Amino acid sequence: MNPAIDLNADLGESTRTKRFHHEAEIFPYLSSCNIACGFHGGDPVFIERAILQALKHGLRIGAHPSYPDRQNFGRQPMELPAAALQAMLRYQVSALKGMVESLGGQLSYVKPHGALYHTLCGDERQAQLAVAVFQSIDANLQVMGLPDSALERAAGNAGMGFLREAFADRRYTPDGQLLSRNQPGAILHDPAEAVEQVRQILMEGMITTHSGSRLPLQADSLCIHGDNPMAVPILQALDHFFRQTGIQKGSL
């Protein structure tokens, strides 16, 4: 039996003044997509367009909530009181869920964005707060995040499904975290490098970190960042690799 992997990307992040013109070309290569909820990127028009594209291509749809930080694209940590964190998440996920359902689709999972993703994967208390919100909105939602993280443990304790995510276009540190975007080489732009990273994950259950060490890594879903200017060439190279090796691309 050939191995299978889910392939996701962060989409719906364009606005009237900030456009990702290659976004429409990304959808055909995916099996899932994480759609912005308007706090780091996206606006009602582009979010709706992304939902319609996802439905057209038969993709699983996830909500992609973030800190309220358009200036930094949601990639700067923020200190929020517990009630504010939960209200912010409830607002974003509920809104995205309502839009998806009104257009005839179903929201399947939640994947936090940027700095919020890293906070929830590393902070047990905040992860529990977030998962409680997701469960209150829809107990059937799955949660996506880093393997062996606070977010995975919180989802497991709440009885929610968890999708272990790995990244095709980001370098890792020896402790299994993503290398800071401020560091050289943190983002992979070479399709061949991205394919090799994916090959290691899927065929060896390992990854080569930025320091050259080897790290075990198991994944249910692979991410390509929609704002990576090389997203389409990387996805094309991955598609070719999957066809060569018989790896099946499909939603979980």
Q: pTM of the entire structure?
A: 0.95
**Average pLDDT of 193-216?**
95
Indicate the domain borders of the chain: 4-249
For residues 31 and 57, what is the distance between their CA atoms, to the nearest angstrom?
8
Q: pLDDT by residue (tens digit) across 103-155? A: 999 999 999 999 999 999 999 999 999 999 999 999 999 999 999 999 999 99
Region at 23 (left for phi over 0; alpha for psi -120 to 50; beta for the rest): alpha
Compute the mean pLDDT over every residue in the chain, rounded to the nearest whole number. 95
Helix axes 124-137, 150-157, angle to 10 degrees: 50
User: In percent, how much of the chain has pLDDT > 90?
Assistant: 90
Region at 212 (left for phi over 0; alpha for psi -120 to 50; beta for the rest): left
Residue 229's alpha-carbon distances to 53, 105, 182, 188, 199, in angstroms, are 20, 29, 17, 10, 22
Q: pLDDT by residue (tens digit) across 34-57? A: 999 999 999 999 999 999 999 999
Q: Where are the beta strands (DSSP E) in 101-241?
A: 107-110, 142-145, 162-167, 206-208, 214-216, 221-224
pLDDT at 112: 98
Q: In whole angstroms, how large is the CA radius of gyration of the chain?
A: 17
Q: pLDDT by residue (tens digit) across 227-249? A: 899 999 999 999 999 999 999 88
- Residue 3, helix vs strand vs coil: coil
User: In percent, how much of the chain has pLDDT > 70?
Assistant: 98
Q: How confident is the model at residue 251 (pLDDT cuts 50, 70, 90)?
A: low
2 or 87, which is more confident: 87
Residue 135's alpha-carbon distances to 48, 214, 239, in angstroms, are 24, 36, 34
pLDDT at 1: 44
Residue corresponding to tokens 């099946």: 248
Q: How many residues does the chain have?
A: 252
Q: pLDDT by residue (tens digit) across 18-34? A: 888 899 999 999 999 99
The CA-to-CA distance between both ends of the chain, in Å, stands at 16
**pLDDT above 90 for 221:** yes
- 4-249: which CATH number, 3.40.50.300, 3.40.50.1860, 3.20.20.370, 3.30.200.210? 3.20.20.370
